[in-house]
Amino acid sequence: MKKITLTRAVNEALREEMQRDPNVYIQGIGLRAVAPNSLTGGLHDEFGSQRVRTAPMDEPLIAGSCVGAALAGMRPVAELHLADFAFCALDEIISKAGKWRYMHGANNGMMLPIVFMQTIGGYVGGAAEHSQSPVGFYMHAPGLKIVVPTTPYDAKGLMKSAIRDDNPVLFFTHKLLGGTEGEVPEDDYLVPFGKAEVRRAGNDVTVVATSYMVSLALNAAQSLAEEDVSVEVIDPRTLEPLDLDTIVQSVRRTGRLVVVDEDTMRCGVGAEIGFQVMERCFSDMKSPVLRVGNPDLPVPYSPVLEKAVLPSSSKIQAAILRTLNPS
């Protein structure tokens, strides 16, 4: 095992998959001049401009050409940078990549292997158009797999699984997780889709959290442990496919659920997971499901207002305590 950052883990996954399969290539804006410690740093120098393709500042072009290449047998990775900018390419992502296997013959061997890399998250004063976490938005789009890694181990293993998958995959990394360190095996490995990870075991309340929210949830759980509150923290790792079984088993034992996601709450990840749990665990619930997330507002530029809008460990703690005292 070795200790590396999450950014380095993704970089290693890209490099190793490009070495393993000549059909893998990367395309995005400014890839020739990216910083050495970035997600794609050093790859252009190693593989050249044919496999690390610098594109114009045109997200529809990047996404659309990668969709065409995937249909032709390549395995492209479309580096779209901030998730906010990927909205420009939604037709290619949702209506082309997401639907074409269904519409044009997946059963006849048609494949569409493509990874759309996007960076999400606030907490950096990026303002409303540079701070979004629109992961829940893509849960409305059938045909797309959704990956939200939290640790370097998961990021590397999930990226490898994403590149080898024959379906389009959205791979989201959070701005604040890039520098986090963790142990990663020296040998080749994969992390399977649809298998959640219990980050902390507990008996009183189940907390399901995504991406950077896992760190906040773990901090909240640690603080509440000093008050003899036992919190179980579950990291889904992928939202499509979603490992609902692990979540349901936990909630049936604890009888309480808090879902934490940085995206806006209306029609979001918390609403979807919470309602699916209620459908399956209503008779086991000791209190209503609670959500912690953005209260349906653009993310403010002001640090004070941004703090008021986005989730925090203290907000998660308050929600956990409310489930223990619902009256």
Active-site residue list: 130
What single DSSP character describes residue 116?
E
Instruction: Classify the C-alpha dihedral 9-120-32-179 as positive or negative.
Output: negative
Query: Cα-Cα-Cα-Cα dihedral of 193, 194, 195, 197, to 10°?
Result: 90
**Residue indicated by tokens 């399901």:** 208
Spatial separation of the C-alpha atoms in residues 105 and 165, rounded to whole Å: 17
- How many CB atoms sit inside 10 A of residue 190's CB? 14
Spatial separation of the C-alpha atoms in residues 313 and 305, rounded to whole Å: 16
Ramachandran area for residue 211 (φ above 0: left; ψ -120 to 50: alpha; else beta): left
Tokens (6 digits) for 125: 């004063």
Q: Is the Cβ–Cβ distance between 6 and 178 less than 8 Å?
A: yes
Beta strands 205-209 and 114-120 are unpaired
Phi and psi at 127, nearest 5°, equal 70, 180
**Residue indicated by tokens 């000093």:** 226
What secondary structure does DSSP assign to 132-194, as a single string?
--THHHHTTSTT-EEE---SHHHHHHHHHHHHH-SSEEEEEEEGGGTT-EEEE-SS-----TT
Phi and psi at 230, nearest 5°, equal -100, 110
